Amino acid sequence: MSTSIFNQMFLIFDPLEIIQMCCWLIAGIVSLYFSIGNARLWTSISFGFFLLLIGQTYLIDPLVKYHVVITMHHVCSILSIMLISHGFFEYYIFCRTLEISGTKRTIYFATAGVLVFFWLFLSVNPNPSPNAVRNYQIIANATWTILCIANIFLCRKIYQSLGSSPIGKGFFGFAAAFFLIFIWKGAFLYREIYQWDRLGQDIYYISGQYLDIEGYTGIVEATYQIVNIAGILASITVVGTHIYLLRLLKFSGGEA
């Protein structure tokens, strides 16, 4: 029965969800290209945004009927914001000390190691139920919501440290992206708290419980639109910021 929930849920697509998925596909590819082609200083930030794409592809992954697979998508989402936050903190430290440690390979292999660890962790534990999968998604959205606020302030600190440098304008773009992601993930989290999300409703109805949603259809519909539109705008902002920085760094010889 639990498998059928996922089969039915992911056959239902809102047109805006498809647009959002396409936008994040572009954002993920651009971020990965930026991560590979530029200095170590940018690796954690850009590779983290690529991992966000992996986290979002649960919408179109044909293997989501396997609960471990969809849970790994949410783990990727959690890891992505932690990696991005680590990257911005690294950049801030670099602005203050002009020191950077580690290599690109260290970031890539460490990330792969964490993902393998979580895969093994999920494999030795009971197969996640729909409730467990939903809990992982709630953790992911809560982590993004909280760390987006921290990263907005960190972008401000970095901009102040860079002064009039053209690179500083790129951090305005990242701050705007984090603000939009905060709205996107925050609205999704709000929906999950009241079990107005699609999976939450399915779990309620299958268990025979009553979900008081009829009197709040306007709010529920509004949150769906906010989630989709904010997600689309966030992906466009991420793409635009990376392209701006890519052209700037290429023109300046790749210097951070």
State pLDDT tens for residues 205-250.
777 776 777 788 899 999 999 999 999 999 999 999 999 999 888 7
Q: Name the residue with higher pLDDT: 253 or 119.
A: 119
Residue 51's contacts (CB-CB under 8 Å, 6 or more residues apart) are 76, 77, 79, 80, 83, 111
Distances (CA, A) of 247 to 32, 94, 170, 241, 251: 15, 22, 11, 10, 6
Question: Of 38-42, 117-121, 165-169, 250-254, which range is least confident?
Answer: 250-254
The number of beta carbons lying within 10 Å of the beta carbon of residue 193 is 13
Q: Residue 44: which of 98, 74, 83 has the closest Cα?
A: 83
Confidence (pLDDT) at 13 = 61
pLDDT at 139: 97
Band (pLDDT 50/70/90 cuts) for residue 10 is very low
Domains and CATH numbers, the chain: 14-251 (1.20.1070)
Half-sphere exposure of 216 (CA within 13 A, CB side): 12
Dist CA 189 CA 204 (whole Å): 17
Say which range, 89-103, 117-131, 201-215, has the weakest mean pLDDT.
Answer: 201-215
Q: Which one-letter amino acid corresponds to residue 230? A: A
Instruction: Count other Cβ atoms within 10 Å, centred on residue 217.
Output: 10
Q: Check residue 228 and give its pLDDT.
A: 92
Q: What gap in Å lies between CA 42 and CA 48, rounded to an integer? A: 10
Residue 149 has pLDDT above 90, yes or no: yes
Poorest-pLDDT segment among 3-7, 96-100, 163-167, 233-237 = 3-7
pLDDT at 22: 86
Amino acid (1-letter code) at residue 220: V
Across 50-79, average pLDDT: 85
Q: Encoding tokens for residue 238?
A: 């991420």
DSSP secondary structure of the chain: -HHHHHHHHTT---HHHHHHHHHHHHHHHHHHHHHHHS-GGGHHHHHHHHHHHHHHGGGT-TTTTSHHHHHHHHHHHHHHHHHHHHHHHHHHHHHHH----S-HHHHHHHHHHHHHHHHHHHHHSPPPPHHHHHHHHHHHHHHHHHHHHHHHHHHHHHHHHHTT-HHHHHHHHHHHHHHHHHHHHHHHHHHHHTT-SHHHHHHHHHTT-----GGGHHHHHHHHHHHHHHHHHHHHHHHHHHHHHHHHHHHTTS--
Question: Per-residue pLDDT for 34 more than 80?
Answer: yes
Of the CA atoms within 13 Å of residue 246, those in its CB half-sphere come to 15
Q: Average pLDDT of 11-21?
A: 73
